Structure 1
Amino acid sequence: MGRNIFKVLTRRKTDSDESTSEMARCLNLVDLVGLGVGSTLGLGVYVLAGSVAKTVAGPAVCLSFLVAAVASAVAGLCYAEFASRVPKAGSAYVYSYVTVGEFAAFVIGWNLILEYVIGTASVARGLSNYIDALAGNHIRLGLRDFAPMDINFLSQYPDFLAFAFVILITALLSFGVKESSLLNNIFTVLNLLTVCIVLVSGSIKATTKYWNIPSSKVPIGYGTGGFFPYGISGVMAGAAKCFYGFVGFDAVATTGEEAKNPQRNIPLAIMISLLIIFAAYFGVSTVLTMMSPYFDQDSDAPFPYVFDKVGWPIIKWIVTSGAVFALCTSMLGAMFPLPRVIYAMAQDGIIFKPLAKVNAGTKTPIIATTLSGLLSGFMALIFDLDQLIDMMSIGTLMAYTIVAISVIILRYQVDEDKPHLQQHESSKHSNVYNGFIEIFNLNNNKEASTRTSRITNWSIIIYSIFTALLAAIIINATEPIFTEPFYFVGFVVSLGALFILLAVIARQPAVDPQLSFKVPLVPLIPCLSVFFNLYLMLELDLHTWIRFIAWLVIGLLIYFFYGIQNSEEGKKLRQPNKLQSLDPEKAAMRKEDTKL
């Protein structure tokens, strides 16, 4: 019974390239780059740079963005390879379904829904706060008096303006992907022009003296001055926060059924988007901290404040107007992938099938889009910006982790069309010495088998466990590592285990797929991505984990009471005509999978 359940949970999607799509292929490379930049370049550049500089990293915030960009680029490389492998809607959900199995895919898809819902709601709330700040906070004060909400874990007032923004974007996305993409491109161009205005005008007023402020002139509570007022630890803590600024490029990967030539254009769009976004963040954070002392930044709206301070009110209003358009673009980009993930999961039958209905006129998943808007609008209505941002990262980081693991699994996965390799291996390697030779492939075996694939899979699982242990020690016991033997031994053992497991994976015979884009330096790059992502996940607070677990429980109830019985993959396994087309050995295996 337990074995049958395991086989059902790990059944994989087998027709990722065979089925036709009802959605229109109308997005070219420019559209995809515009979507990636537009969905990412929002709150990060207009709010995050100032707030992180003020209280976390100081002028070294530009280095925090660099570290966050490296972590995002590593994840982006893994996304790019999978986009060239699996040109379907659904992003990491489909990738994990093809490689890891149905249950892992559901968990990832469910958390991607959380990511995009929270992302849309947080940008809507940020846009509402930005407009409210320009209006002298009259909207906030009025709503607080009209409908106060005195609940600790909710906002102080219902933000009807943010709700209205989400509903407006929902209506726009319902009209059609090409129309919404055109508007997104226009807003993205305005966004980039605003960033250029900041860089050019800000550089005129920039001076390096604000990077060398002595500690005697720094207010109490704002570090020690200089370029690293909060030390290297501040740079790393800032990187964890700045990572939020790069969340969104994976929206490009959800357009597999609407992109022209997805195997080529999606990987290119991901990497080009990340380069543009990093250049904008690095330049803006550099100029911002050279125009005004880091401790004198405005955490909510840094640009209007700093340009007002230097006596340029015209630039202030130009930048403020551009910021409003940028946040609109970011909200559009954040919500764009949400109905597509829901559509992909519903089409596979693991969530409610009616959500996969595509409107004949607009060629969009209309029911999924409407549900996405209502859910995102409700979240924006009752939660404030800080709460939304805290809830967002965990789903993203888990998705990035599974994608990186899936890259390794596929690179070392046995070719199922060679069953003789599986039969040959079972009689070998019965003692410890031979097992050691096999694990490190000292015989220089060049052809992957079921056994070498299994060694790789177990190695990456154990690698993830030791990565989590090492990250926990670094985060929670930085100082005692070199003073207390318990932490020191844990640190050394965990670090040594990571290098050994990396060597074990690298020694296994790999499969060389013919793809338009492949991650270089496998398994090093994907393993680095796993480390970065798990480290940042453990940086999240307890309340974020509690909310995440509650969301996950709801999803698991849906899967076990609906999805597991209505899965399209499960239905195919139960169809006799499908089984007859298989050879007898595979047919017997498929029949056993259906016995739950």
Structure 2
Amino acid sequence: MESISIGAASEYDTLLNKKVIHQSCSSFLKAISRKKPISDSTESRLAKVLTAFDLTALGIGSTLGVGVYVLAGQVSKQHAGPAVILSFLIAAIASIFAGLCYAEFGARVPKAGSAYIYSYVTIGEFIAFLIGWNLILEYAIGSASVVKGLSTYLDKLFDNVMQNFFKEHMPMDVPWLSEYPDFFALGVTILFSCAIAFGAKESTFVNNIFTVLNLGVVLFVIIAGLFKVDASNWSIPKEQVPDGYGEGGFMPYGISGVIKGAAVCFYGFIGFDCIATAGEEAKNPRKSIPFAVIVSLAMIFLAYFGISTVLTMMIPYFEQDENAPLPHVFRIYGWTVAEYIVSIGAMFGLCASLMGAMFPLPRVVFAMSADGLLYQFMGRISDRFKTPFNGTLITGFLTGTLAAIFNLSQLVNMMSIGTLLAYSMVASCVLILRYESDDKNNKVTINGKGIQLNSSSGNYAAAKVLLRKMFIKNQTATSNHLSAKITTIAVASYGVWCLLFGLVVSKFEENFDQIYWLDYFLLCLSLVPIFTTLYIISRQPVSSAQLAFKVPLVPWLPGISILINVYLMLKLDSQTWVRFAVWILIGLVIYFTYGLRNSVQRRRSQQKFETTIITEKNTRSLSVPSIYVNSNSTTATNF
């Protein structure tokens, strides 16, 4: 309860009451769209100890997991043949588009939280919460699937000892759950959680060791395989190819097979975004984050490219083992030592991938908790270790529980939704901020009167001005509120056009033999609004903000990134979208029951509003009696 003096004049009292009512009615919309300042002066409580090498190793380790030992054989046999190298190239280009967007934002906003914090400073609190909630899902399921793979891999090396024991003594006959509780996976997850909780530098040091050893094994496979390569395996005649394995040659499944293979290979590059999540703990984030993102993606591509080249040249693509192609090919040549080295390398890769998947999860929780959107105790920083200690252990235990009791084979696609949605949001944020207004105070006007829409002449003048600003670029113009508004609306509509384009392209992929001229017409027609929207954005004046790193070819490169991500999301099955909707529903309950009222930005807005009221009171010269105004009932930011 705060005592403030308000003018006794009835007109002022009415004015104040009207303002309070109006502000209260619009407070909900303002609440979900309130933004976090880009330049947040709050001092970080995390230790800045990570170098560019640490961040690069973290990105490589989290991405180059067991996939490097599996994907090349799987994609070459099922989708692309020897052209799997082109599939990896396309996937790498698509990943680099997303990576460059992360690099710009990491240099612009070096805070823990990755896509969550980027959305918060660009779009608003509600969308940021949804993105952060999705990131938690992505990292939790990603970590659980990796540790489950590690447990399964070790168990196979020892003739399924754990599986047989737990199935016999502790079976779980429950649908959607695992056949037995995997206590080994739970224990390993808790062990890694403790390592991460005890310090960022210490945990990244362990990750560096795993990553270097993993890269060493990859290099060994490439060099050893070069002694047994045969270029004729890239040009096998059709008559020598078994039924069901395409037409032979370099591209046995055609271009469509290469594209399908690229969609699968794209998921082999997921994980580099953990670099941006660690931005608040980097010594020089504005330089090291862009460097680490680009270098890690380049090295990951070279590893995939080298492995797939050697593998498809050593034996024909249709003879590959889908689950363990590298041990299989070395077994064929009788290289027992190489087979064991590859198995050890897979262990290192899994450990590095697990560390990389678990490291960013508590950072996202910390960022959301520090902003008041998640429960405060989850984001507390340890005075001794300078890490989100509670959040690390809690998320580690929950991740281990998922790995121990759930059958994760049907949940892995949910991780893909969270990742692709985050990628799309980051690219959209890059576009919005690149064209943000340089004029933070004054609204743009036309002829000093604003855009008039009250008469036919006013409508014509407004339309004429808007069309000119949308399609004709003024080289000397500076970004303003109107150009920024045009960009924001264009970016929002661009997502809809990408969705429609993806639906049209899906028909080509599913029934290519039944495509008619009308389908080609619809395909071309769906491309028109995509190019038009990007062209409109490109005509707007760019913000003059100086950045340490900028995405090149804006808006085209981020636009292509959004298009690819939306298309890949459409390829996920309906059950995945149902589970995703359930997860979102849980998040909405948390936000509207806790986050909306406990938001730090809400408290700041409330203080600003109260200050405005007091300032208005002080400017009045009326002599009035003092009355009490309840700040909770009169402030516009009650939400």
Q: Tell me whether 1:430 sits opposite 2:462 in the alignment.
A: no
Q: Is the 8 A contact 2:36 2:124 kept in 1?
A: yes
**Preserved contact between residue 89 and residue 255 of structure 1 (Cα < 8 Å):** yes
Return the letter of the residue paired with 1:571. R
Instruction: Out of 349-358 and 53-62, give the one that drifted further.
Output: 53-62
Match of 1:105 in 2: 128
Residues 84, 321 of structure 1: alpha-carbon distance in 2 compared, 3 angstrom cutoff: same
Confirm or deny: 8 A CA contact 1:121 1:388 kept in the other structure: no
Task: State the shift of 1:321 in Å.
Answer: 0.9
Equivalence for 1:59: 82
> In structure 1, how many angstroms separate the alpha carbons of the residues matched to 2:449 and 2:472?
14
Residue 484 of structure 2 corresponds to 453
Q: What does 1:337-376 correspond to in 2, within 5 Å?
A: 337-376=360-399
> 1:191 & 1:419 partners in 2: Cα distance?
55
Partners of 1:396 and 1:2 lie apart in 2 by 35
The answer to whether residue 566 in structure 2 is matched with residue 523 in structure 1 is no
TM-score, normalization by structure 2: 0.88
Say if 1:481 and 1:488, in contact at 8 Å, map to a contact too. no
Counterpart contact for 2:118–2:429, Cα < 8 Å:
yes
Distance in 1 separating the partners of 2:385 and 2:106: 25
Structure 1 partner of 2:421: 398
Deviation at 1:453, TM superposition (A): 1.1
> Which residue, 493, 497, 502 being the options, matches 1:462?
493
Deviation per residue, 1:548-583 (Å, 9 max, x gap): 111111101100111000000001111158845999
1:79 aligned to 2:111? no
User: What is the deviation of 1:481?
Assistant: 10
Of 391, 401, 419, the match for 2:442: 419
Question: 2:505 maps to what in 1?
Answer: 474
Of the candidates 167, 174, 196, which is equivalent to residue 219 of structure 2?
A: 196
Q: Which amino acid aligns with 2:395?
A: S
Q: Does 1:276 align with 2:319?
A: no
Matched, 1:554 2:586: yes
Aligned match for 2:91, one of 68, 71, 83: 68
**1:419 partner SS:** coil
Aligned residue type for 1:311: G
The answer to whether 1:594 aligns with 2:625 is no
Q: 388-397 vs 351-360, which deviates more?
A: 388-397
Shift of 1:119: 1.1
Q: Is 2:402 the partner of 1:379?
A: yes
- My pick for the range that moved more, 52-61 or 573-582, is 573-582
Conserved 8 A contact 1:41-1:330? yes
- Does the 8 Å CA contact 1:130/1:301 hold for their aligned counterparts? no
| 1:168-179 equivalence runs, <5 A | 168-179=191-202
The Cα of 1:16 is off from its aligned counterpart by 4.4
CA distance in 1, matches of 2:360, 2:525: 41
Partners in 1 of 2:83 and 2:95 — Cα distance?
Answer: 19
Contact 2:411 / 2:576 at 8 angstroms: preserved in 1?
Answer: no
Tell me if the contact between 2:46 and 2:386 (Cα under 8 Å) persists in the aligned partners.
Answer: yes
Kept after mapping to 1: 8 A contact 2:225/2:310: yes
Distance change >3 Å, CA 2–CA 198, structure 1 → 2: farther
Taking a change above 3 Å as real, the CA distance of residues 576 and 500 of structure 1, as seen in their structure-2 partners, is closer
Q: Residues 222 and 108 (structure 1 numbering): CA distance in 2 closer, same or farther, change over 3 Å?
A: same
Map 1:235-314 to 2 at 5 A: 235-314=258-337
Decide which of 565, 579, 589 is 2:597's aligned counterpart: 565
Distance in 1 (CA, whole Å) between partners of 2:431 and 2:404 is 41
Q: What CA deviation, in whole Å up to 9, does each residue of 1:149-201 have, x standing for no partner?
A: 44453333333322222111111111111111111111111011001100000
Cα offset for 1:225? 2.3
CA distance in 2, matches of 1:261, 1:88: 12
Say if 2:271 and 2:356, in contact at 8 Å, map to a contact too: yes
TM value normalised by structure 1:
0.94
Shift of 1:438: 2.9
Name the CA distance, whole Å, in 2 between partners of 1:425 and 1:66.
53
Higher Cα radius of gyration? 2
Q: Contact 1:126 / 1:385 at 8 angstroms: preserved in 2?
A: no
Structure 1 residues 138, 294: CA separation in 2 closer, same or farther (over 3 Å shift)?
A: farther
| Equivalent of residue 533 in structure 1, options 565, 569, 589 | 565
Local SS of the residue matching 2:321: coil
Query: How many residues matched?
Result: 590
The answer to whether the aligner puts 1:514 opposite 2:543 as a matched pair is: no
2:281 match: secondary structure: coil
Shift of 1:514: 0.8
Q: 1:131 — aligned with what?
A: 154
Contact 1:481 1:491 in 2 (8 A): no
Paired position in structure 2 for 1:94: 117
Aligned counterpart in structure 1 of residue 248 of structure 2, from 216, 222, 225: 225
Q: Is the 8 A contact 2:445 2:451 kept in 1?
A: no
Q: Report the CA distance between 1:419 and its aligned residue.
A: 1.0
Whole-angstrom distance in 2 between the partners of 1:220 and 1:158? 41
Q: Would the alpha carbon gap of residues 422 and 172 (structure 1) be closer, same or farther in structure 2, given more than 3 Å must change?
A: farther
Residue 43 of structure 1: how far off its partner (Å): 2.1
Deviates more, 1:107-116 or 1:222-231: 222-231
Q: Structure 2 vs 1, CA of residues 33 and 443 (structure 1 numbering), >3 Å: closer, same or farther?
A: closer
Match of 1:497 among 529, 533, 544: 529
* Letter paired with 1:534: V
Distance 1:317 1:292 in 2: 19
Aligned to 2:631: none
- 1:587 aligns with none
CA contact (8 A) 2:609 2:635 kept: no
Secondary structure at the aligned position of 1:201 is classed as helix
2:170 — aligned with what? 147
CA distance in 2 between partners of 1:481 and 1:227 (Å): 22
**2: distance between equivalents of 1:374 and 1:308?**
39
Cα distance in 1 for residues equivalent to 2:152 and 2:229: 28
Q: Find the counterpart in structure 2 of residue 588 from structure 1.
A: none
Q: Structure 1 residue 387: deviation in Å?
A: 2.5
Give 3-state SS (helix, strand or coil) of 1:249's partner.
coil
The structure-2 alpha-carbon separation of the partners of 1:419 and 1:376, relative to structure 1 and needing over 3 Å to count, comes to same
Q: Verify the 8 A CA contact 2:443 2:481 in the aligned structure 1.
A: no
Cα offset, 1:216, TM superposition: 2.9
Match of 1:439, SS state, is: helix
Whether the aligned pair in 2 keeps the contact of 1:480 and 1:487 (CA below 8 Å) is no
- % same residue: 48
Q: Distance in 2 between matches of 1:416 and 1:531?
A: 31
Distance 2:569 2:436 in 1: 28
Kept in 2, the 8 Å contact 1:58–1:294? The answer is yes
Residues 331 and 502 of structure 1: CA distance in aligned 2, closer, same or farther (over 3 Å): same
Structure 2: gaps of 5 or more residues: 1-23, 453-457, 617-633
Amino acid at match of 2:70: V
